[in-house]
Structure 1
Amino acid sequence: MNAPNLTTVITSKYDEMTNAEKKVADFVLSSPQIALNSTITDMAKLCKVGETSVFRFCKTLNFNGYQEFRISLALNNTASIGTDVSDLPHNEEDLAHQVMSIYRAAIQKTYSSLDYSAIDKAVNILLHADFIYFFGAGGSALSAEETHLKFSKIIPNVGFDADLHQQLTKASLVKEGYVSVIYSNSGITKDAITIAKLSHMRGAKVIFITEFSETPAAEYSDVVLLSGAAEGPFAGGSITAKTSQLFMMDLLYAKVYQAMGTDAENNKKLTSRVIADKML
């Protein structure tokens, strides 16, 4: 089901619903943002129905459960912000200026959204981790891989797998003392949310890096760091989103490096020397 059509689907299915389900439908249509931020228990209380009725409402809309409904609702509420290809200037100089402006706006948005207490908490979690896994799907996988490569220069206990099935496998095996760092620009990618949930269930700490502050993954995360860029239908996996993610990566890396002191400096010298030997 395409998320932008969710309102239409609810309306088309309305006559098939029970009276209790209609109460849920009415609330979702009138207060979608509140609904998005609500757990199934919250929703039941707000609509004055049982949790079973909320679940049946989701099933009537052909969702497997409440979590899948929330993800679709989040997609439905997310504005289609981004540059339509047809709107781009044809003049090379104007085009270059517009692309530069988009990059600058993405970095500025992340900078303006920084929560320094959350960053400090994330750094403290990373410093005390027995092992750190970096996760990401699609374009965010590139950010996860780049973060792994950067941190591996100063910390040996880090890991990354490009294959999504391997990521899910690793997430199911993490344990207390481990940390899962998850990149998801939209914050509503089902696999990213699943990895956060699996990691949380296994007792690992979760750091979730996203543009969407109301991500369903928040309930499974120890820290949510806002970083990314709004993407429209022609901008999925955009470089601007990854640029914002890498901005956050460099900030976390710098803070961890500072906190590690001479250990980070010595490890960086060792790993840099090995790479230098490969140069001509």
Structure 2
Amino acid sequence: MKTSPATGIRPSIVMEQHKHSFTKSENKIYQYILDNPKQVIYHSLTEFSDASGVAEATVLRFLRKLGYKGFQDFKFLLAREVAAESEEEQEETYVERIRNNMVRALEDTYEVIDPVALEGSIGAIHASDDVVIFGIGSSGIAGLDMQHRLMRIGKNTQVVTDSHFQVMRATSLDSKSVVVAISLSGGTKDIVDTVRIAKEREATIIVITNYVKSPLTKYADYILLTSAKESPLNSGSLVSKVTQLYLIDLICTGVTMKNYESAEHVKREVSENISDKLY
């Protein structure tokens, strides 16, 4: 995955996607940066260490874990992010804020796409005749869209959003099956338990999530990262679904390109048959 700051990923996004793997000391660093971004850009390493209550060596290990060369490298990119956000906040209406959040989330998701994982996911779905999508809540809505897209090009696809049905469906999988598990947090217990069963049945697991390390990604063959910040009070926001749908669009387009003539033929037949439903 492209976690190096050289790719232009905002520091807040890099930290957000790795926060599930932070130690107790690293969480203190993360929280201090989150609460005091404008102060951090003026700190020396020693000042930052004192203010966050963590040793200098721990701070440097934390930053290198995220892909930064050192404290100055991190501060430079954080300063750029703080300046950009301050500029956007000036006289910004809620209409503009929502638009900007969506555009930024899509751009950040584009930056963290792993081309190898994307191509691997496309190849696995293309080769399989049993594609099962698991999602709960708003992630289930994204799963329904993926089912719709894949069925229109002739893929045998099923989305399961009920946790009991998910367990039953996972039990019936085998090594020829492909599972797409969609979970922003990667920590939804029902999804994790279902995917664990699917992994035991030797199914190929594709995970679409916001975090690099989570209970769900432990079972993944391919991890595709979204990049949308979502608080517990803002769960199910449209911004997070847009980033999931962006990755789903990439996968479905890639599968279509793998077998273009057959996919186009099925799409035409589906369109013709659906046209009978219109006045």
What are the Cα deviations for residues 132-189 of structure 1, in whole angstroms up to 9, with x where unaligned? 0011011101001111011111124111133221122111221110011010011111
> Counterparts of 1:204-223 in structure 2 under 5 Å?
204-223=203-222
SS for the counterpart of 1:132 is strand
Length-normalised TM-score, structure 2: 0.67
Amino acid at match of 1:270: E
Distance, in Å, in 2 between the alignment partners of 1:208 and 1:224 is: 5
Distance, in Å, in 2 between the alignment partners of 1:117 and 1:145 is: 25
> Counterparts of 1:217-232 in structure 2 under 5 Å?
217-232=216-231
Q: In 2 relative to 1, CA 226–109 (structure 1 residues): closer, same or farther, beyond 3 Å?
A: same
What are the Cα deviations for residues 230-279 of structure 1, in whole angstroms up to 9, with x where unaligned? 11132111111110000001111111101112010101111111111111
Distance, in Å, in 2 between the alignment partners of 1:165 and 1:223 is: 25
> Counterparts of 1:43-192 in structure 2 under 5 Å?
94-192=93-191
Q: In 2 relative to 1, CA 185–228 (structure 1 residues): closer, same or farther, beyond 3 Å?
A: farther
Give the CA deviation at 1:105.
1.4
Q: In 2 relative to 1, CA 114–166 (structure 1 residues): closer, same or farther, beyond 3 Å?
A: same
Length-normalised TM-score, structure 1: 0.66
SS for the counterpart of 2:232 is coil
The answer as to whether partners of 2:186 and 2:217 remain within 8 angstroms in 1 is no
Distance, in Å, in 2 between the alignment partners of 1:193 and 1:261 is: 34
The answer as to whether partners of 2:137 and 2:161 remain within 8 angstroms in 1 is no
What are the Cα deviations for residues 173-215 of structure 1, in whole angstroms up to 9, with x where unaligned? 2111001101001111111211221111011000000011112
The answer as to whether partners of 1:106 and 1:244 remain within 8 angstroms in 2 is yes
Q: In 2 relative to 1, CA 32–202 (structure 1 residues): closer, same or farther, beyond 3 Å?
A: farther
Question: What is the aligned length?
Answer: 197
Q: In 2 relative to 1, CA 123–156 (structure 1 residues): closer, same or farther, beyond 3 Å?
A: closer
Distance, in Å, in 2 between the alignment partners of 1:262 and 1:196 is: 33
The answer as to whether partners of 1:228 and 1:242 remain within 8 angstroms in 2 is no
Distance, in Å, in 2 between the alignment partners of 1:162 and 1:197 is: 16
The residue number in structure 2 matching 1:9 is none
Distance, in Å, in 1 between the alignment partners of 2:268 and 2:235 is: 38
Distance, in Å, in 1 between the alignment partners of 2:181 and 2:227 is: 13
Identity value in percent: 28
What are the Cα deviations for residues 44-68 of structure 1, in whole angstroms up to 9, with x where unaligned? xxxxxxxxxxxxxxxxxxxxxxxxx
The residue number in structure 2 matching 1:269 is 268
Give the CA deviation at 1:216.
2.0
Give the unaligned 5+ runs of structure 1: 1-26, 34-88
Distance, in Å, in 2 between the alignment partners of 1:109 and 1:28 is: 25
